[in-house]
Structure 1
Amino acid sequence: MDFGLPPIMARGLNFCNRKNPYDQSKIPDLVSSMEKGWPILAYPKNNGTKFWAHEWNKHGTCSESVLDQHAYFQASLNLKKKVNLLQNLKNVGINPDGKLYTMASITKAITDALGFAPAVIRCNTDPSGHSQLHKIYICLDSSGSNLITCPLFLKSGCRSEIEFHPF
């Protein structure tokens, strides 16, 4: 399960400026916070750098008219604290315990807690064939500070029952 920070997405844009790639030297004061607050759980041996680069290159460059790299990652860290998807799921008894939960209950928990429906809940399939909770996408305005109604909704690849695997 990747409970990393949601990408700052407006209008579903991706890879908007390939001439401004991720540069960790622009965020030295945030790296420690990102290692704690935005670990890449799917690849525990990875220190996050490749994933953070992917997030900036794919999503952050679309917000750069408003946010530079430092502001993008700071806004993401702030948003993670504000949104706290994992805690919101735990508050209604949806825990990373290997049990099955309905897609409807996960969607409702997020919508009730945030006031906005997720753009998509993504799943992968484990070796036993179970649909596993993998990612939850929410939409933000271009400042990266406010949740918005998603301008587009994506297909999830999830079944009606989803395993929330421990991590």
Structure 2
Amino acid sequence: MAARSSHLSLALLLVMAVGCAAQDYDFFYLVLQWPGSYCDTRQSCCYPKSGKPAADFGIHGLWPNRDDGSYPQNCNPDAAFDPSKVSDLLSELRANWPTLACPTNDGLRFWGHEWEKHGTCAANAFNEHGYFQTALRLRDQLNVLDALTSGGVSPDGGYYTLGQIKDAIKRGTGFEPYVECNRDESGNTQLYQLYFCVDTAGDRFIDCPVLPRGRACSNRIEFPAF
């Protein structure tokens, strides 16, 4: 009887451990980046080997997060990025998840970093291929640039209020993002990144349970051309 009780206790502990691992994050941030703002800084940028990206919002990452504002990272050192597992997605990754870091490169290091730091922490939701495929699908589903331009907010070097930007995106996508800004070489605040929240399965957008700790915006925001 004691042996059976011991086995049951061990089984219960294993179930609890699996359950805890499966609940190590509460939602995702899908982070989209405007390339014109990445490049228009003192640091500048380098176009990838595949050429200048399109003037559209690219993916920065799909990041598991917790409701208390913390987040898991680098969850499986053994799950190194393997480009062969996303070979069918490489053209989409180059187009919609481009790297702008210097020196000029092919993007593999950037994608590897995102998978190893963030993607491995969502292994209960998807494998490496599923991680990248999900982020690409979610980005396409939003169509943020169309939402902005339809709302009168265009990447033409003009200035807009934070309210104008949020309202245009919410009308066009159904969700209000957290807007992160950076500064150009002259110190002007510019539209840099947008954070949208996604459920734990990566299936649908949700209202954000907590806002990120991104760089706040002034109320006069430049939307630079690219």
- Using structure 2 for the length normalisation, give the TM-score: 0.66
What count of residue pairs does the alignment treat as equivalent? 166
The DSSP-based 3-state class of the residue aligned with 1:133 is strand
Match of residue 22, structure 1, among 81, 89, 96: 81
Structure 2 unmatched ranges of 5 or more = 1-33, 36-56
Question: Aligned equivalents of 1:40 and 1:116: distance in 2?
Answer: 26
CA RMSD of aligned residues (A): 2.1
> What's 2:97 paired with?
38
Taking only the aligned residue pairs, the percentage that are identical comes to 40
Equivalent position of 1:78 in the other structure: 137
- TM superposition shift of 1:115: 2.1
Larger helix proportion of the pair: 2
Match of 2:62 in 1: 7
Spell out, residue by residue over 1:42-92, the C-alpha distance to the aligned partner (whole angstroms, 9 max, x if none): 669343223222322333222211111100111111111111111111111
* Residue pairs, 1:103-122, within 5 angstroms: 103-118=162-177, 120-122=178-180
Off by >6 Å, runs of 4+ in structure 1? none
Counterpart CA distance in 1 for 2:152 and 2:101 is 23
Return closer, same or farther for 1:58/1:112 CA change in 2, 3 Å cut-off: farther
Q: CA deviation at 1:10?
A: 4.5
1:94 maps to which of 132, 147, 153: 153
Are residues 1:149 and 2:203 paired? Answer: no
Check whether the contact 1:9–1:140 (CA below 8 A) recurs between aligned residues: no
In structure 2, the residue corresponding to 1:27 is in which secondary structure?
helix
Q: Distance in 2 between matches of 1:16 and 1:165?
A: 34
Q: 52-61 or 8-17: which moved more?
A: 8-17
One-letter identity of the residue aligned with 1:87? D
Secondary structure of the 2:204 match is coil
1:8–1:142 CA contact under 8 A, matched in 2: no
Are residue 132 (structure 1) and residue 187 (structure 2) matched?
no
Displacement of 1:126: 0.7
Runs of 5+ unmatched residues, structure 1? none
1:116 deviates by 2.1
Distance 1:80 1:74, change over 3 A: same
Per the alignment, in what secondary structure is the counterpart of residue 198 of structure 2?
coil
Q: Which moved more, 1:81-90 or 1:54-63?
A: 54-63
Q: Find the aligned partners of 2:193 and 2:136 in 1 and give their Cα distance.
A: 17
Give how far 1:147 is off. Answer: 0.2
Name the amino acid aligned to 1:68. Answer: N
